[in-house]
Amino acid sequence: MEHFLDRKGDIAVSLTIFDLDNTLIGGDSDHLWGEYLIELGIVEEAYYRSENNRFYHEYKTGQLDILEFLAFSLKPLSENSLHDLLTWRQGFLETKIHKVMLPKAKKLIDQHRKKGDTLLIITATNRFVSEKIADLLAIPHLLATEPEFKDGAYTGKVDGVPCFQDGKVKRLDDWLAAQGLSLEGSYFYSDSHNDLPLLRQVDHPVVVDADPLLLAEAEKANWPVMSLR
């Protein structure tokens, strides 16, 4: 097993990074959250489903305007009380997320955990939706798109750089610098061509249940390909 060292050079650990949606879970939590809000009657059904599906299609085809999407997806956080949001999120975990948990993903995580690896999820999905899923997977470190939170409420705006495409690289670089770590010996598991910028940065890119665009790139680069389904 390869390792990276902290800045003091006296602790050897291995960093293993996981994408979340359609990698560690068998679905897209951002899209599922939108569907759940529709089912609860929190948002207007026809408009919200149409836009939710449009953005998901654009994500899959590499055409997503991340700021446009976040203006859409973070708006319900700003329009409802934190108490209600937390209540709905618990129901979301129970009715939507538990159904898409993947036993093989848990085994993969445990394999890296038993090696003593540092485990990190990096996801474009906002922290409100993704943080409790990371808890369910017992992964202690999470880099996610940060919804702005002021005076006890969400504003509907983004705080900092969205954790998407090149933004994942930027957010990870900042996190590594704060931890005094590097990417030497690191792994990254992902399903999406949107993660190519980060896949090209790590020592061990691993393609998981890949979309067609990523699979084509993986074949060119001779990256390992696997399934957790």
pTM of the model: 0.93
Q: What is the pLDDT of residue 180?
A: 87
Contacts of 98 (CB under 8 A, 6+ apart): none
- Judged against a pLDDT cut of 50, whether residue 170 lies above it is answered with yes
Structural domain count of the chain = 1
CA-CA distance, 63 to 185, in Å (whole number)? 32
Given phi > 0 = left and psi -120 to 50 = alpha, else beta, which region is 151?
left
Averaged over 1-15, what is the pLDDT? Answer: 47
> Residue 10's domain is classified under what CATH number?
3.40.50.1000
Q: What is the pLDDT of residue 31?
A: 98
- The verdict on whether 19 is a catalytic residue reads yes
CA-CA distance, 47 to 195, in Å (whole number)? 29
Q: What is the pLDDT of residue 4?
A: 34
- The verdict on whether 21 is a catalytic residue reads yes
Q: What is the pLDDT of residue 13?
A: 64
Catalytic residue among 19, 28, 117, 195: 19
C-beta separation of 104 from 39 below 8 A: no
Residue 191 domain boundaries: 4-226
Q: What is the pLDDT of residue 181?
A: 85
**Between 181 and 150, residue with greater pLDDT:** 150
Catalytic residue among 6, 10, 21, 203: 21
